[in-house]
Amino acid sequence: MKSPTFAYERPQSLAEALALLAQKGADARPLAGGQSLIPMLALRLARPSVLVDLGRVEGLDELTLQDGVLVIGAMVRQRQLERNALVAEHLPLLVAATKVVGHPAIRNRGTLGGSLAHADPSAEYPAVALALDAEFVIQGPRGERVIPAQEFFLGPFTTALATDELLTSIRFPIPPTHSGWGMAEVARRHSDFALAGAVALLARADDGTCARAAIALFGVATRPLRATQAEQALVGRPFTTETFREVATLATESIDEPLSDVHGSAAYRRQLVPVVVRRALEEAAQRAAAR
Partner 1 sequence: MERVPITVTVNGQTVSAEVEPRMTLADFLRDELGLTGTKLGCEHGVCGSCTVLWDGAAVRSCLVLAAQADGAAITTIEGLATEGQLHPVQQAFWEAHALQCGFCTPGMILTAVALLSEDANPSEQAIREALSGNLCRCTGYQNIVRAVQLAAERLRSSS
Ligand X SMILES: Cc1cc2nc3c(=O)[nH]c(=O)nc-3n(C[C@H](O)[C@H](O)[C@H](O)COP(=O)(O)OP(=O)(O)OC[C@H]3O[C@@H](n4cnc5c(N)ncnc54)[C@H](O)[C@@H]3O)c2cc1C
What are the φ/ψ torsions at residue 34 (nearest 5 degrees)?
Answer: 75, 5
Residues lying near ligand X in the complex (CB under 6 A): 29-37, 39, 54, 74, 101-102, 106, 110-111, 113-115, 117-118, 120, 123-125, 161, 166-167, 191-193
| 11 touches, from partner 1, ligand X, none (C-beta below 5 to 8 Å by class) | none
| Nearest to 161, CA basis, from 172, 146, 176 | 146
Alpha-carbon gap, residue 205 to 151, rounded angstroms: 29
Q: List Cα–Cα distances, 89 to 70, 167, 186, 285, in angstroms.
A: 11, 25, 26, 19
With H, G, I as helix, E, B as strand and everything else as coil, classify residue 35. Answer: coil
Task: Write out the E strands in the chain.
Answer: 7-9, 28-31, 50-53, 63-66, 69-73, 135-140, 143-148, 153-155, 158-159, 166-173, 179-186, 196-204, 210-218, 225-226
Which 60-79 residues touch partner 1, going by CB under 8 A? 79
| 30 touches, from ligand X, partner 1, none (C-beta below 5 to 8 Å by class) | ligand X
Per CB under 8 A, which region of 7-15, 126-134, 159-167, 250-258 contacts partner 1?
7-15
Alpha-carbon gap, residue 67 to 185, rounded angstroms: 32
| 159 touches, from partner 1, ligand X, none (C-beta below 5 to 8 Å by class) | none
Per CB under 8 A, which region of 22-30, 102-110, 125-133, 277-285 contacts partner 1?
102-110
Least Å distance, CB 126 to ligand X, is 8
Least Å distance, CB 192 to partner 1, is 9
Q: Is 157 left (phi over 0), alpha (psi -120 to 50) or beta?
A: left
Q: Distance of alpha carbon 127 from its chain centroid, rounded?
A: 5
Binding partner 1 (rule: CB under 8 A), the pick from 15, 26, 43, 88 is: 43
Least Å distance, CB 174 to ligand X, is 22
| 113 touches, from partner 1, ligand X, none (C-beta below 5 to 8 Å by class) | ligand X
Alpha-carbon gap, residue 116 to 114, rounded angstroms: 6
| 79 touches, from partner 1, ligand X, none (C-beta below 5 to 8 Å by class) | partner 1
Contact characters 174-193, partner 1, x per CB under 8 A: ---------------xxx--
